[in-house]
């Protein structure tokens, strides 16, 4: 939004309608010099309610003011801001669900179709979306095998210590099928490389988790 632009426009509309700057200032409940300062660009921020009142007293139809302020000056009402925020949040959630479903579906198709890596479209061209998905799947499978090896190594070397670790890991992973909150928590946690944390930071995280578990068990 440009305050200078809206200030010039207000002055032009006010002059055309024969309304003095002091009169308009009084009509919107401001100091007599407010409109004059706004028109000269001395006021750097114009809130929605004030802008709405100005346009109303300049003769705009009230039902069209909200759209006009947004379209021309990007001045948004609290309701419009909330609505747009909800639309963005819903879009992000929908997109995440679509990606998750696409990966699950790709996994299922690869389990039932041994010719999947060579899948082609009707015109004989390689399905690029399937190809990159296959490459991603193979890369993740390789890492999955490495994870299994590392877990097996630690289980063999530290069986008693690792028994509750494996039990809790199994419980959490299987819960993600039904609990999206656990899924998002797991992804949010491990989308970061926790191995680079300093010992002090690791200790703080463990203490925070222990405190939360203690609170839950004390209820």
Specify the pLDDT at position 92.
Answer: 65
Specify the pLDDT at position 124.
Answer: 46
Q: Which residue has the higher pLDDT, 125 or 54?
A: 54
SS3 65: helix
Inside any domain, residue 153: no
Number of structural domains in the chain: 2
State pLDDT tens for residues 31-83. Answer: 999 999 999 989 888 999 999 999 999 998 888 899 888 888 888 898 888 88
Q: Which residue has the higher pLDDT, 20 or 141?
A: 20
Mark 88-106 as b/e (b = at least 16 C-beta within 10 Å).
eeeeeeeeeeeeeeeeeeb
Rounded (5°) CA angle 121-126-130: 85
CATH number at residue 58: 1.10.260.40
Specify the pLDDT at position 121.
Answer: 46
Q: What percent of the chain clears pLDDT 70, i.e. is strictly above it?
A: 78
Inside any domain, residue 208: yes
Inside any domain, residue 50: yes
Residue 54 has which token pair? 């100005």
Residue finishing a domain among 49, 76, 103: 76
Inside any domain, residue 38: yes
Beta bridge partners of 126: 120
Inside any domain, residue 27: yes
Residue finishing a domain among 30, 47, 76: 76
Inside any domain, residue 172: yes
Specify the pLDDT at position 38.
Answer: 93
What's the domain range around 60?
3-76
Q: Which ranges in 59-198 belong to alpha helices (H)?
A: 62-73, 78-112, 128-157, 159-175, 180-190
Residue finishing a domain among 37, 57, 76: 76
Asked whether the whole model's pTM tops 0.85, one would answer: no
Q: Give the separation between CA 95 and CA 102, rounded to whole angstroms.
A: 10
Specify the pLDDT at position 32.
Answer: 94
User: Which residue has 């809790």 as its token pair?
Assistant: 168
Inside any domain, residue 56: yes
Inside any domain, residue 202: yes
Mark 151-162 as b/e (b = at least 16 C-beta within 10 Å).
eeeeeeeeeeee
């Amino acid at each position: 939004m440009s305050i200078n632009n809206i200030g010039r426009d207000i002055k032009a509309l006010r002059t055309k309608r024969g309304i003095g700057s002091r009169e308009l200032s009084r009509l919107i409940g401001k100091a007599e010099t407010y409109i004059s300062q706004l028109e000269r660009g001395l006021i750097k921020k114009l809130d929605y309610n004030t802008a709405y009142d100005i346009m109303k007293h300049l003769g705009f139809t009230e039902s069209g003011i909200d759209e006009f302020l947004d379209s021309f000056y990007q001045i948004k009402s609290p309701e419009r801001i909330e609505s747009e925020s909800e639309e963005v949040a819903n879009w992000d959630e929908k997109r995440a669900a679509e990606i998750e479903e696409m990966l699950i579906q790709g996994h299922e198709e690869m389990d039932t179709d041994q010719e999947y890596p060579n899948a082609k479209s009707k015109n004989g061209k390689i399905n690029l979306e399937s190809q990159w998905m296959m490459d991603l799947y193979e890369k993740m499978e390789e890492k999955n095998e490495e994870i299994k090896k590392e877990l097996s190594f630690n289980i063999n070397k530290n069986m008693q210590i690792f028994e509750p670790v494996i039990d809790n890991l199994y419980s959490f992973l299987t819960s993600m099928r039904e609990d999206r909150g656990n899924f998002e928590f797991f992804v949010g946690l491990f989308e970061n490389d926790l191995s680079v944390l300093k010992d002090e930071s690791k200790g703080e995280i463990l203490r925070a988790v222990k405190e939360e578990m203690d609170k839950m068990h004390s209820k």
